[in-house]
């Protein structure tokens, strides 16, 4: 392999990708990483191959903020197929039961009220949660079903957008860890007809919207890695919900050495985005017991990085 093909670059930022149906999140990540010739990358929570939509991909220093996207609220546009239950809870699984659909739209809207607010969900067997060191989906593929502990999640909004025959279209805004397949299954059981996810699209995540995202085809059509790197979003854009504090250059020096610094005004507790006067993003801090900003995630300067700094 030639040196030109081995060459990797320090690329920093977040790609807002509109993932297509049929790719795993990791496959999409690897394609984007190859197109950027990026050294370091990670995604922010899997979308099933069946699902499309917003998948933020973090590169370089931006991988340090990926946990905040993992923990962010999300929004989905989903189509539930009423009248059929499948082994996986989605359209990829074998149909294991068919029942007639007799519920009206009003019946469905009343049933949905049971699944708003804080609710308990039993994770599907076809999920990546581990029991005894094994992902549940591996056990399920081996024909093994195990007891799963319910988990608390929050469904902020759950709205019926349309009902055409046996296809129910819904808009769902929810907390991290919410299984849309479980919502479809549980709704189908309440209605007495069964249901599974036929289509799923993530439309929002951590303050980002799918309308801001690029498809892989559009990303690949850009002329070179530098042009692609120019489309990345700065890491601090993923942290818009966290209060921002600006500190002096003098304080910034000590903050970047890992020392807590005084800053005003500070909230009594919680995470902070720290900027040096002039606007450079330094990283994340927490308010310590002495009321100072204590560094927790330092980001090295990414000025001029894009695809200009070779590392390999």
- Provide φ and ψ at 141, rounded to 5°: -65, -25
Residues 99 and 85: their CA atoms lie apart, in Å, by 9
SS3 label, residue 262: coil
- Provide φ and ψ at 86, rounded to 5°: -120, 165
Residue identified by tokens 């007495």 is 192
* Alpha-helix runs per DSSP H in 56-121: 66-70, 105-112
Can 48 be counted among the known catalytic residues?
A: yes
> In the numeric block, which tokens belong to residue 55?
């998948």
In this structure, the strands spanning 280-287 and 271-276 are antiparallel
Report the alpha-carbon angle 185-188-192, nearest 5: 140
How far CA 294 is from CA of 213, 239, 264, in Å, comes to: 34, 17, 13
The closest of 104, 252, 87 to 165, measured between CA atoms, is: 104
Residues 203 and 216: their CA atoms lie apart, in Å, by 16
Count the Cβ atoms, other than its own, within 10 Å of residue 250: 11
- Of 48, 90, 186, 236, the catalytic one is 48
Would you please indicate which residues are annotated as catalytic (active-site) residues?
48
């Amino acid at each position: 392999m030639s040196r030109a093909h081995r060459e990797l670059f320090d690329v920093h930022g977040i790609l807002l990708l509109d993932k297509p149906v049929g790719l795993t999140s990791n496959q999409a990540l690897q394609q984007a990483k190859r197109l950027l010739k990026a050294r370091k990358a990670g995604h922010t929570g899997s979308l099933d191959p069946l699902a499309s939509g917003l998948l933020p991909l973090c590169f370089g220093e931006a991988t340090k903020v990926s946990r905040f996207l993992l923990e962010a609220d999300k929004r989905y546009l989903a189509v539930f197929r009423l009248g059929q239950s499948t082994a996986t809870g989605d359209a990829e699984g074998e149909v294991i039961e068919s029942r007639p659909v007799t519920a009206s739209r009003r019946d469905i809207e009343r049933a949905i009220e049971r699944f708003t607010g804080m609710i308990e969900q039993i994770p599907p067997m076809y999920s990546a949660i581990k029991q005894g060191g094994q992902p549940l989906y591996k056990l399920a593929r081996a024909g093994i079903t195990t007891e799963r502990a319910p988990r608390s999640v929050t469904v902020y909004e759950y709205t019926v957008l349309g009902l055409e025959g046996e296809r129910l279209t819904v808009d769902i805004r929810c907390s991290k860890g919410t299984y849309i397949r479980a919502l479809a299954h549980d709704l189908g059981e309440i209605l007495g007809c069964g249901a599974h996810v036929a289509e799923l699209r993530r439309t929002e995540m951590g303050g980002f919207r799918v309308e801001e995202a690029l498809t892989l085809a559009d990303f690949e059509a850009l002329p070179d890695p530098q042009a692609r790197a120019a489309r990345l979003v700065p890491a601090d854009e993923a942290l818009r919900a966290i209060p921002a504090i600006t500190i002096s250059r003098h304080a910034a020096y000590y903050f970047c050495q890992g020392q807590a610094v005084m800053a005003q005004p500070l909230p009594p507790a919680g995470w902070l985005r720290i900027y040096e006067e002039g606007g450079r993003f330094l990283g994340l801090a927490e308010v310590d017991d002495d009321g100072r900003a204590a560094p927790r995630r330092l980001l090295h300067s990414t000025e001029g990085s894009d695809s200009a700094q070779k590392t390999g």
